[in-house]
Amino acid sequence: MIDFEPHYRRVEQLIYAWARAIDEDRVEDITTMVLDAGRYTVKSRFNHDRELPLAVIDCHNAAQLRDRILSMRKANVYQPHHYRHILSGIHISGQTGESLEVTHNFLIVRTMDLSGDMKIFATGQCHDHIVLTPDGAKFKERLFIFDSRVIETLMIIPL
Amino acid sequence: MIDFEPHYRRVEQLIYAWARAIDEDRVEDITTMVLDAGRYTVKSRFNHDRELPLAVIDCHNAAQLRDRILSMRKANVYQPHHYRHILSGIHISGQTGESLEVTHNFLIVRTMDLSGDMKIFATGQCHDHIVLTPDGAKFKERLFIFDSRVIETLMIIPL
Amino acid sequence: MIDFEPHYRRVEQLIYAWARAIDEDRVEDITTMVLDAGRYTVKSRFNHDRELPLAVIDCHNAAQLRDRILSMRKANVYQPHHYRHILSGIHISGQTGESLEVTHNFLIVRTMDLSGDMKIFATGQCHDHIVLTPDGAKFKERLFIFDSRVIETLMIIPL
């Protein structure tokens, strides 16, 4: 049995850093946390359980993710809002080649800037593949599986 | 003062494993995480504070818990739904004999499979007695104390 | 780069202890977790981002905080309720002099004692300055920044 203990803090802090970047409206920073060839996918539990391919977001590399965020900043018109990530249950379940397999649960509360309305926007489980590079820990793959089939309106800001 | 530091990871991962088993619809797996003579109780804060005995679930051993889950699978008729556990504040507060006393806060979001409706199903504090056996950490006792006196409809899936 | 690893557990457990004291209705205990000259502030993200000074609570020392809690116990008339803190993402970001700079996300669910109604009362980010004294870790400064501009009715119990 492999001892993952030495990796827990780095893995945890990488996952937290991603959440902070989004919550603090520095969304661009998440693109520095994925490998150039890294993948970022957001999919419903319903589709994931049935192995249906449709995803809400599916970026095959960091450049696509940067593009998505640029579109959020420049092209999309939407009511200003922000997220708050509450994460729990970080678990390193295994290792494939050089990447650690990690899961955790997430709950994201969305607050509308103008009205102040808060609601649970998404809950679910995230499946990560994390590589410890000389430049620090990086995501090779992030798969967010959200519990509800219903995403209110369009999802603008990445999870 | 006893140093609980060496036990934190195992305690934490046991608590997380229980939550994952339920969230991932492998509820049967929780029965392998309690001692044969282990106890599992779910009670309202109102009753707990007044030392009133009534509990929503009170299994006195692993066999009773297995029975409860079998009934959920075979006998109960209910609208399909699942939980998402968000846990925080894991704290080892003491040791009685061989078992560690542990508390943490929980928040459980329930999602209805068909409508996609999400709601905060329960929040509260969990009091655990955890024993480190040669087979790994196990629960000797789990007491979930939920904050609200109101549990919507029947509680089918254990917390 | 400073290695904060040795401090994580003490920092985490101090933050959790504060939350437990409030959730368990031992609010007075939080005054023992701040330095005599410690500061405790609760402010909206809206005001914080614009460097506006208005805060919902702003205690400049432990005595003021004790006073605030005494007022809650003796003078305020309000519908009985309590909180449940769900915290995540604890991150030690730096050190200034003797104090560690720490951030984390919070979600607080409020339950009304009589009706059992639960709602997300506040989410946000907390900025702490924590000092490791011979008497244990203490808060030199706590700044709770809540996401929504709207706080329902009066905030009675501190966050």
Tens of pLDDT, residues A25-46: 999 999 999 999 999 999 999 9
Chain A touched by C125 (CB under 8 Å): yes
Cβ-Cβ contacts under 8 Å, C5 against chain A: 9
**DSSP category for residue B114:** T
Q: Which one, of A13, A15, A65, lies nearest residue A42 by Cα?
A: A65
Cβ-Cβ contacts under 8 Å, A5 against chain B: 9
CA dist list (Å): A114 to A10, A82, A122, B112: 36, 11, 20, 30
Q: Do C76 and C156 meet the contact criterion of CB atoms below 8 Å apart? A: yes
**DSSP category for residue B57:** E
**Band of residue A1 on the pLDDT scale cut at 50, 70, 90:** low
Q: Which chains touch A (3 or more CB pairs under 8 A)?
A: B, C
Q: For position A21, what pLDDT does the model report? A: 97
Helix intervals (H) in A32-134: 45-49, 62-74
Q: Which two tokens stand for residue C145?
A: 């920044």
Chain B touched by C19 (CB under 8 Å): yes
For residue C126, the one-letter residue type is C
Q: Do C155 and C42 meet the contact criterion of CB atoms below 8 Å apart? A: yes
Chain C touched by B86 (CB under 8 Å): yes
Q: Which residue is closest to B122 within chain C, CA to CA?
A: C118
Cβ-Cβ contacts under 8 Å, B118 against chain A: 120, 123, 147-148
Distance from CA of C43 to the nearest CA of B (A): 23
pLDDT for C104 beyond 60: yes
Per-residue pLDDT of chain B (159 residues; tens, 9 = 90+): 689 999 999 999 999 999 999 999 999 999 999 999 999 999 999 999 999 999 999 999 999 999 999 998 988 888 899 999 999 999 999 999 999 999 999 999 999 998 999 999 999 999 999 999 999 999 999 999 999 987 655 677 888
Who contacts B22 (Cβ-Cβ below 8 Å, separation ≥6)?
B30, B83, B85, B157, B158, B159
Cβ–Cβ gap A150/B116 under 8 Å: yes
Cβ–Cβ gap B149/C116 under 8 Å: yes
Q: Which residue is closest to A4 within chain B, CA to CA?
A: B9
Cβ neighbours of B99 (radius 10 Å):
18
Cβ-Cβ contacts under 8 Å, B24 against chain A: 125
Cβ–Cβ gap A20/C147 under 8 Å: no
**Band of residue A67 on the pLDDT scale cut at 50, 70, 90:** very high
Indicate which of B118, B119, B135, B157 best probes the interface with A, i.e. most A CBs within 10 Å of its own CB: B118
Q: Do A112 and A83 meet the contact criterion of CB atoms below 8 Å apart? A: no
Cβ neighbours of C25 (radius 10 Å):
13
Cα–Cα distance, A78 to A80 (Å, whole number): 6
Cα–Cα distance, A53 to A50 (Å, whole number): 9
Chain C touched by A22 (CB under 8 Å): no
Cβ–Cβ gap A87/C91 under 8 Å: no
Interface confidence (ipTM) of the complex: 0.94
